């Protein structure tokens, strides 16, 4: 059962999220706040699994609020502004929801949270820390199992707090380690860092817009500091 916190200065926006949560049978207590001040007092004294956080608020923006938390819960930004959403990944949010929030899109975001928490408990680690550029796979240890991870199956990698989520065409793997550590494991000829929180498989990219990459149905933000490298690799 997930404990959820909602912070949004708009009562109707809070009601939408509350209504979506009531339709799910794995949701525990829901605590809803109209301002960041009361929410911060609550989070300092209580644990929460998920934080639904609006960005545009009068006293403190959601971005400023999230930066102020020492140990924030898994955070989903709720916003009417797409440009803000990409900025959220710099702060380690797990997903963002554009208003108005449909129930189907909402469930996708909450499933990301559930998947992450469940996979995190498996204590998965990569056994091979030094990878040759010609190497095509590594073994990951999950509990008592050793699973072969083929690089060709990986679409992208997302850094989240002290963990990395490795996405393949069919599954996700969560393991302890920073996004920087993943760069040392995955071959540089096949993978490129496009954002502070994302590495993508060069071969899996289907489209590049002004500030995002599309691959396997996912939209990956392009960080300002990585645009030049992406343009060099794609257009030269």
Residue ending a domain, among 91, 120, 149, is: 120
Residues 148, 116 share a domain: no
**Mean pLDDT of all residues in 51-55:** 96
pLDDT, tens digit (0-9, with 9 covering 90-100), for 70-123: 889 999 999 887 766 566 777 888 998 999 999 999 999 999 899 888 878 877
Predicted TM-score (pTM) of the model is 0.76
pLDDT, tens digit (0-9, with 9 covering 90-100), for 165-176: 999 988 888 888
Please give the tally of structural domains in the chain: 2
What is the domain-level CATH number for residue 47?
3.40.50.2300
pLDDT at 143 over 80: no
Burial of 110 (0-12, 13-18, 19+ CB in 10 A): buried
The span from the CA of 54 to the CA of 76, in Å, is: 9
């Amino acid at each position: 059962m997930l404990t959820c916190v909602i912070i949004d200065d708009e009562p109707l926006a809070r009601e939408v999220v509350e209504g979506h949560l009531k339709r799910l049978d794995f949701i525990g207590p829901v605590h809803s706040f109209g301002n960041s001040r009361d929410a911060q007092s609550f989070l300092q004294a209580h644990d929460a699994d998920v934080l639904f956080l609006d960005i545009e608020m009068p006293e403190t923006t959601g971005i400023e609020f999230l930066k102020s938390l020492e140990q924030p819960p898994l955070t989903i930004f709720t916003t009417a502004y797409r440009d803000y959403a990409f900025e959220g990944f710099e702060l380690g949010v797990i997903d963002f929801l554009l208003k108005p929030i449909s129930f189907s899109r909402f469930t996708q975001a909450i499933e990301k949270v559930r998947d992450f928490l469940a996979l995190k408990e498996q204590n998965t680690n990569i056994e091979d820390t030094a990878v040759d550029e010609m190497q095509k796979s590594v073994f990951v240890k999950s509990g008592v199992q050793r699973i072969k991870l083929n690089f060709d199956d990986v679409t992208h990698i997302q850094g989240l707090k002290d963990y990395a989520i490795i996405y393949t065409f069919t599954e996700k793997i969560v393991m302890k380690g920073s996004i920087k550590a993943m760069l040392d494991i995955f071959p540089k000829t096949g993978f490129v860092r496009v954002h502070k929180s994302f590495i993508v498989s060069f071969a899996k990219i289907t489209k590049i817009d002004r500030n995002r990459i599309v691959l396997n149905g996912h939209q990956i933000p392009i960080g300002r500091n990585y645009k030049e490298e992406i343009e060099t690799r794609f257009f030269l």
